[in-house]
Amino acid sequence: MKKLMTILLCVLLSSFVFGDTIFFNDGTTRKNVVVTKETYDKVEYYFKDAGAGSKQQVGQHRVKEVQRSEVPNDFQIAEGYFSQKAYEQARRDYQRAMRSRDWTEQHCLFRIAESYRLEGKTRDAISAYKNVISKFPKGRYLPECYFYQGEAFFAAKDWRRAAGAYFKAAKFYSQIKKKDQAYDAKYKVAFCEEKRKAYGKAVQMYKSLIGGLEKDHKMYNKANVRIGLCLLGEKKYRDAKRHLLKIINDKNIKDPFVLSAAYVGMGDYYREGNAENDSKKSLLCYMRVILMYSGTSDDMARAYRGAAVCFKLMKNANKARQMEQQAAKWESS
């Protein structure tokens, strides 16, 4: 209730604001302007005092936020419901706010798509993102629509369509110089190929990605460790072992997600790729992940599943069953 009262107060105060404001990433602002168009790559505007003849534009990559002087009541109330995760109520108000200003439709449609995704309504989210792209093919949220459409396809385990959506997101993020977002999307494309068991293709994509990164970039090790796991998938066990141990022995690598993936890989190596089929060493690697790290849901499920196999080989059926139950939980998360 307090949040909604605050929103209504903002509605009253907004009537005293004269013009839109553009906030830039460098901390500067451009006040008392009229924003006429927002696309994925630029913001078009003119200074209110100078009139429409003073139209200018600025690259979207420089813009942190556009603050409108006149925001419809329904839109602000919808934003309040959205922040409270009351998505169904938010959608109703976004629908009402959609036609109230010439700028609101694409924002409302995107938020509706987001609400479906955050609710876990994958099919509705995919359809809603497609609707935004169809109505606004150069819209403000074009890269985000493709990226989150990829996330929705990924959640549905449709790796091929997910890869296609991520690829388009990477393309548009690269165009507008949002490098980190482009790297993330490219990583997801490679990961989809890995999920499809196209390991050779995934390795080339991961190598291409890290080839343009400094070693201290957070994405470098995240992509590099996946190369080791793909080498395991290709049954190139010696190469995989060498690759993963190099990561594990690097004292500069602290990221638990990277280390958990590396130890899961070594667990698989000792169980599958080692001539001795050393279940004890394999189990130690898996249990290290389970007890010490918090990896991705994929890696945690893989660790529990691998541990279950090891316990079965050790004739510990009860423990194996416990590990399988935990694996199932991670696989469904």
Confidence (pLDDT) at 14:
46
Q: Would 184 be classed as within a structural domain?
A: no
Confidence (pLDDT) at 5:
55
Confidence (pLDDT) at 326:
95
Q: Would 176 be classed as within a structural domain?
A: no
- Cβ atoms 279, 313 nearer than 8 A: yes
Nearest residue to 292 (alpha-carbon basis) of 248, 242, 322, 252: 248
The CATH number linked to 31 is 2.30.30
The CATH number linked to 270 is 1.25.40.10
Q: Would 146 be classed as within a structural domain?
A: no
Residues of the chain below pLDDT 50: 8, 11-16
Q: Which amino acid is at 200?
A: G
d(CA 321, CA 308): 7
Domain boundary among 69, 86, 104: 69
Number of domains in the chain: 2
Domain boundary among 36, 54, 69: 69
Q: Would 115 be classed as within a structural domain?
A: no
Q: Would 134 be classed as within a structural domain?
A: no
Burial of 201 (0-12, 13-18, 19+ CB in 10 A): middle
Chain centre distance of CA 20: 30
Q: Would 119 be classed as within a structural domain?
A: no
Q: Would 321 be classed as within a structural domain?
A: yes
Average pLDDT, the chain: 92
Q: Which amino acid is at 204?
A: Q
- Mark 106-126 as b/e (b = at least 16 C-beta within 10 Å): bbbbbbbbbbbbeeeebebbb
Q: Would 145 be classed as within a structural domain?
A: no
Domain boundary among 69, 99, 132: 69
Residues spanned by the domain of 235: 197-333
Q: Which amino acid is at 274?
A: N
Cβ atoms within 10 A of the Cβ of 25, count? 10
d(CA 185, CA 182): 5
Instruction: Round to the nearest angstrom and report the end-to-end CA distance of the chain.
Output: 32
- Three-state SS at 139: strand
Which tens digit of pLDDT belongs to each residue from 39-78? 999 999 999 888 888 899 999 999 999 999 999 999 999 9
